[in-house]
Protein backbone atom coordinates (compact mmCIF):
# COMPACT_ATOMS: atom_id res chain seq x y z
CA UNK A 1 0.00 0.00 0.00
CA UNK A 2 1.29 3.43 -0.92
CA UNK A 3 -0.37 6.58 0.35
CA UNK A 4 0.27 9.83 -1.50
CA UNK A 5 -0.90 12.69 0.70
CA UNK A 6 -2.50 15.79 -0.71
CA UNK A 7 0.83 17.49 -1.35
CA UNK A 8 1.36 16.94 -5.07
CA UNK A 9 1.54 20.27 -6.85
CA UNK A 10 -1.10 21.12 -9.39
CA UNK A 11 0.57 21.66 -12.75
CA UNK A 12 -0.38 23.84 -15.67
CA UNK A 13 -1.29 22.26 -19.00
CA UNK A 14 1.50 23.03 -21.50
CA UNK A 15 0.68 25.53 -24.23
CA UNK A 16 1.69 23.01 -26.90
CA UNK A 17 -1.20 20.78 -25.85
CA UNK A 18 -3.86 23.20 -24.60
CA UNK A 19 -5.47 26.49 -25.56
CA UNK A 20 -6.19 28.71 -22.57
CA UNK A 21 -5.38 27.98 -18.95
CA UNK A 22 -5.75 24.41 -17.71
CA UNK A 23 -4.78 23.06 -14.28
CA UNK A 24 -4.09 19.37 -13.78
CA UNK A 25 -3.95 17.23 -10.64
CA UNK A 26 -2.48 13.72 -10.82
CA UNK A 27 -4.88 11.08 -9.49
CA UNK A 28 -3.22 7.79 -10.48
CA UNK A 29 0.21 7.22 -12.00
CA UNK A 30 1.20 3.97 -13.77
CA UNK A 31 3.43 1.87 -11.52
CA UNK A 32 4.70 -1.68 -11.86
CA UNK A 33 2.31 -3.69 -14.00
CA UNK A 34 -0.47 -1.10 -13.67
CA UNK A 35 -1.19 0.84 -16.84
CA UNK A 36 -3.82 3.10 -15.29
CA UNK A 37 -3.33 6.84 -15.54
CA UNK A 38 -5.88 9.27 -14.14
CA UNK A 39 -5.91 13.03 -13.82
CA UNK A 40 -8.37 15.66 -12.69
CA UNK A 41 -8.33 18.44 -15.28
CA UNK A 42 -9.64 21.92 -14.52
CA UNK A 43 -10.38 23.99 -17.64
CA UNK A 44 -10.94 27.72 -17.33
CA UNK A 45 -13.69 29.20 -19.55
CA UNK A 46 -12.77 28.78 -23.21
CA UNK A 47 -9.83 26.46 -22.48
CA UNK A 48 -9.57 23.18 -24.34
CA UNK A 49 -7.17 20.45 -25.36
CA UNK A 50 -5.58 20.30 -28.80
CA UNK A 51 -6.82 17.58 -31.14
CA UNK A 52 -5.38 14.27 -29.95
CA UNK A 53 -5.77 10.51 -29.76
CA UNK A 54 -5.16 7.92 -27.03
CA UNK A 55 -3.57 4.56 -27.88
CA UNK A 56 -6.02 2.62 -25.68
CA UNK A 57 -8.86 5.14 -25.60
CA UNK A 58 -9.91 7.36 -22.71
CA UNK A 59 -12.84 7.88 -20.38
CA UNK A 60 -13.66 11.36 -19.12
CA UNK A 61 -16.19 11.98 -16.34
CA UNK A 62 -17.40 15.52 -15.81
CA UNK A 63 -17.52 16.53 -12.15
CA UNK A 64 -18.14 20.27 -12.39
CA UNK A 65 -19.21 23.04 -14.75
CA UNK A 66 -20.13 22.83 -18.42
CA UNK A 67 -17.86 21.26 -21.01
CA UNK A 68 -17.59 20.51 -24.68
CA UNK A 69 -16.18 17.57 -26.61
CA UNK A 70 -15.96 16.63 -30.26
CA UNK A 71 -14.67 13.72 -32.27
CA UNK A 72 -13.27 14.44 -35.73
CA UNK A 73 -16.17 14.76 -38.15
CA UNK A 74 -18.83 14.82 -35.43
CA UNK A 75 -20.83 17.59 -33.76
CA UNK A 76 -19.59 19.53 -30.73
CA UNK A 77 -21.33 17.95 -27.74
CA UNK A 78 -22.21 19.78 -24.51
CA UNK A 79 -21.20 17.91 -21.34
CA UNK A 80 -22.52 18.41 -17.84
CA UNK A 81 -21.65 16.95 -14.41
CA UNK A 82 -22.22 13.22 -14.31
CA UNK A 83 -21.76 12.84 -18.07
CA UNK A 84 -19.18 10.26 -19.12
CA UNK A 85 -17.52 9.96 -22.52
CA UNK A 86 -15.40 7.13 -23.88
CA UNK A 87 -13.11 8.02 -26.77
CA UNK A 88 -12.15 4.98 -28.82
CA UNK A 89 -8.48 4.03 -29.29
CA UNK A 90 -7.07 6.25 -32.02
CA UNK A 91 -10.21 8.40 -32.25
CA UNK A 92 -9.21 12.00 -32.97
CA UNK A 93 -10.96 14.35 -30.52
CA UNK A 94 -10.75 17.29 -28.15
CA UNK A 95 -12.42 18.28 -24.87
CA UNK A 96 -12.63 21.44 -22.83
CA UNK A 97 -14.73 24.04 -21.08
CA UNK A 98 -17.62 26.00 -22.52
CA UNK A 99 -16.69 29.54 -23.43
CA UNK A 100 -18.51 30.94 -20.41
CA UNK A 101 -17.96 28.24 -17.79
CA UNK A 102 -15.27 26.38 -15.92
CA UNK A 103 -15.26 22.63 -16.39
CA UNK A 104 -13.56 19.86 -14.43
CA UNK A 105 -13.35 16.24 -15.52
CA UNK A 106 -11.59 13.13 -14.40
CA UNK A 107 -9.66 11.52 -17.26
CA UNK A 108 -8.81 7.83 -17.07
CA UNK A 109 -6.83 5.73 -19.52
CA UNK A 110 -4.31 2.95 -19.97
CA UNK A 111 -0.87 3.96 -21.20
CA UNK A 112 0.74 1.92 -23.98
CA UNK A 113 3.83 -0.33 -23.79
CA UNK A 114 6.07 2.74 -24.03
CA UNK A 115 4.16 4.57 -21.32
CA UNK A 116 2.54 6.96 -23.79
CA UNK A 117 -0.94 8.24 -23.00
CA UNK A 118 -1.59 10.70 -25.80
CA UNK A 119 -0.62 11.53 -29.36
CA UNK A 120 -1.04 15.29 -29.83
CA UNK A 121 -2.12 17.10 -32.99
CA UNK A 122 -3.08 20.63 -33.97
CA UNK A 123 -4.72 23.13 -31.67
CA UNK A 124 -8.50 23.47 -31.86
CA UNK A 125 -8.95 26.70 -33.78
CA UNK A 126 -11.32 29.44 -32.67
CA UNK A 127 -13.41 28.58 -35.73
CA UNK A 128 -13.68 24.93 -34.70
CA UNK A 129 -14.33 25.86 -31.08
CA UNK A 130 -16.74 28.58 -32.14
CA UNK A 131 -18.87 25.93 -33.82
CA UNK A 132 -19.86 24.87 -30.31
CA UNK A 133 -23.57 25.15 -29.53
CA UNK A 134 -24.83 27.64 -26.96
CA UNK A 135 -24.71 26.13 -23.49
CA UNK A 136 -27.38 28.27 -21.85
CA UNK A 137 -27.04 30.20 -18.62
Residue 37 interacts with Mn ion (CB under 5 A): yes or no: no
Contact segment (CB under 5 A) with Mn ion among 1-9, 51-59, 73-81, 120-128 equals 51-59
Nearer to Mn ion by Cβ, of 4 and 88: the residue is: 88
DSSP letter, residue 51: S
User: Would you say 39 and 60 are in contact if contact means Cβ atoms under 8 Å apart?
Assistant: no
Nearer to Mn ion by Cβ, of 58 and 135: the residue is: 58
Closest distance between Mn ion and the C-beta of residue 54, in Å?
6
Closest distance between Mn ion and the C-beta of residue 128, in Å?
15
Nearer to Mn ion by Cβ, of 66 and 109: the residue is: 109
- How close are the terminal C-alpha atoms of the chain, in Å? 45
Of the residues 13, 19, 43, 58, which one makes contact with Mn ion according to CB under 5 A: 58
Nearer to Mn ion by Cβ, of 66 and 124: the residue is: 124
- Burial per residue of 15-30, b for 16 or more beta-carbon CB atoms within 10 angstroms, e otherwise: eeebbbebebbebeee
User: Would you say 100 and 67 are in contact if contact means Cβ atoms under 8 Å apart?
Assistant: no
**Dihedral of CA 126/101/89/119: which sign?**
positive
Binding positions for Mn ion, rule: CB under 5 A: 58
Amino acid sequence: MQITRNATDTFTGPGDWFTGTVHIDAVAVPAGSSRVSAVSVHFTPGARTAWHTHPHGQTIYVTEGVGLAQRRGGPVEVLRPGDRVFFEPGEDHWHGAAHNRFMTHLALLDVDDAGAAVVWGDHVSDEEYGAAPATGA
